Amino acid sequence: MYAAGAAGHGAAAGPPPGGGTGQSWGAPDGAGQAAPRPKRRRTRTPIASLAVLVLLIAGGALAVGVANATAHSPQRAVEAYLDALRGGDVDRANELADPRANSSERSALTKEVYDRAEHRITGYRVVDAHSSGSSATVRVEITQDEKTSTVELGAHRVANSALVLHNWELDEPLTSTVHVVVPTGVSKVTVNGVGVSPEFKPDEGDAKRIAADLVVLPGRYAVEVPPKSKFLGYGSAQTFDYAPGADAEDQGAGAEDGGNAALTFSDNFSQALIADADNEIQKHVDLCIKRKAFAAPRCPNQSLMASDGSSSYRDPHWTLTSRPTLEEPEYEGDGVGTISSKTPGKATLQYQYDSFGTWETKKEEVDIAFTVRVTVDGPEKFHFDWLARGAAG
């Protein structure tokens, strides 16, 4: 049994019948708790919103201005183009500065040809850049073949989808045109050893010749016409250097004002014949050096001592000290032409001279100079005839 409560206090009230044990049955719900405060709405005044908008616009304008002055500047367009040339990226260079050439003129404007070009652009430095409205001029110092020259590249602004950022394109590329003139019947040339087939058209003023234009980038180019047979062709390769900003005399054979070039090829001996003829001529010189004669027939090593036919000279011995080099052939047509020595060879003649009954040993230095007539007798056969020493015909 439970004891009665203390005096002055009523008996503790039990839970109501059937009440759950988890329910408070003391003070009423909410009694003794503070009423929640209503939430305050934050409002932005029109002045504050306008200030934020102004800051955003100013920041965006600043970012656009920085981009237009750097990544989207005419100077950057020029740098991107020169980087492509320096890196040998022909496709990228043509994309950045349209060569404005047809497919025939672009025959040599390929990576394969450009990869083999010597004396390409190896460096550059932007000197200054000036823009006025939608036009700009960038002055650049270009390094090529360890030489520097200054060129100006124009650029113009073009529209873009952003309408804010500027896009710049180059007005003209750094290209040159090589005008190649060949005899009729030729359909192909090689440029730096790569075969190209431009569209040849009749040459003005010469019904026996045809011509084509080839567009090239800065560098050195060797143009050659393949031979029509082993011993008949169109002469040696002709080399042309295109260096933007350089004088015409520094551009190589055939260079004209403006950096363009005209290369003309004619019927001639092939390089194979020139090489074989050089080999045969050198062998012939060796045989002549071995002959113990002051002036053997058909030999270029001839001494003045033989001119008087005197018996005062005897026992000649030749020693070759340097070999002759050959000039380019003088082609006369129909498989006939002449080849002359370019740099005379040198030989020493030692002999004995009768000096009042006493034979004395003497030496004489003689040039090995000559001209030979070459005749092609068939597809793989030729012969040559020695002409007067040092002169043709």
The DSSP call for residue 304 is: G
- Those residues whose C-beta lies under 8 Å from the C-beta of residue 359, and which sit 6 or more positions away, are 314, 352, 353
Helices (H), ranges, the chain: 46-69, 74-87, 90-96, 111-115, 271-290
Q: Which neighbouring-strand residues pair with 158?
A: 167
* pLDDT at residue 306, rounded to an integer: 61
CA 193 to chain CA mean position, Å:
14
Lowest mean pLDDT among 32-36, 137-141, 198-202, 311-315: 32-36
Residue that has been written with the tokens 């030989």 in this structure: 347
Q: For residue 131, count CB atoms less than 10 angstroms from its CB and return exposed for 0-12, middle for 13-18, buried for 19 or more.
A: middle
- DSSP string covering 27-78, please? SPTTTT-PPPPPPPPP---HHHHHHHHHHHHHHHHHHHHHHHHTTTSHHHHH
What distance in Å separates the CA atoms of residue 170 and residue 93, rounded to the nearest whole number? Answer: 11
What are φ and ψ of residue 71, in 5° steps? -65, -25
C-alpha to C-alpha distances, 40 to 37, 43, 45, nearest whole angstrom? 9, 9, 15
What distance in Å separates the CA atoms of residue 133 and residue 31, rounded to the nearest whole number? Answer: 78
How many degrees, rounded to 5, is the angle at CA 190 between CA 213 and CA 91? 65
What distance in Å separates the CA atoms of residue 283 and residue 105, rounded to the nearest whole number? Answer: 45
Averaged over 150-162, what is the pLDDT?
Answer: 84
Lowest mean pLDDT among 197-211, 243-257, 260-274: 243-257
Question: Does the pLDDT at position 49 exceed 70?
Answer: no
Q: Locate 132 and state its tokens.
A: 């006025």
- In the chain the first and final C-alpha atoms are separated, in Å, by 159
Lowest mean pLDDT among 4-8, 37-41, 225-229: 4-8
- DSSP string covering 115-154, please? HT-BS-EEEEEEEEEEEETTEEEEEEEEEETTEEEEEEEE
What would the pLDDT profile of 261-275 be if each residue is shown by its tens digit?
899 999 999 989 999
5 or 122: which carries more pLDDT confidence? 122
What would the pLDDT profile of 63-91 be if each residue is shown by its tens digit?
444 444 444 699 999 999 999 999 999 99
Averaged over 26-53, what is the pLDDT?
Answer: 55
Please, what is the average pLDDT of the chain? 82
Q: Is the pTM above the cut of 0.75? A: no
* pLDDT at residue 310, rounded to an integer: 74
Please answer whether residues 210 and 182 qualify as being in contact, where contact means their C-beta atoms are separated by less than 8 angstroms. Answer: yes
Residue type, 76: R
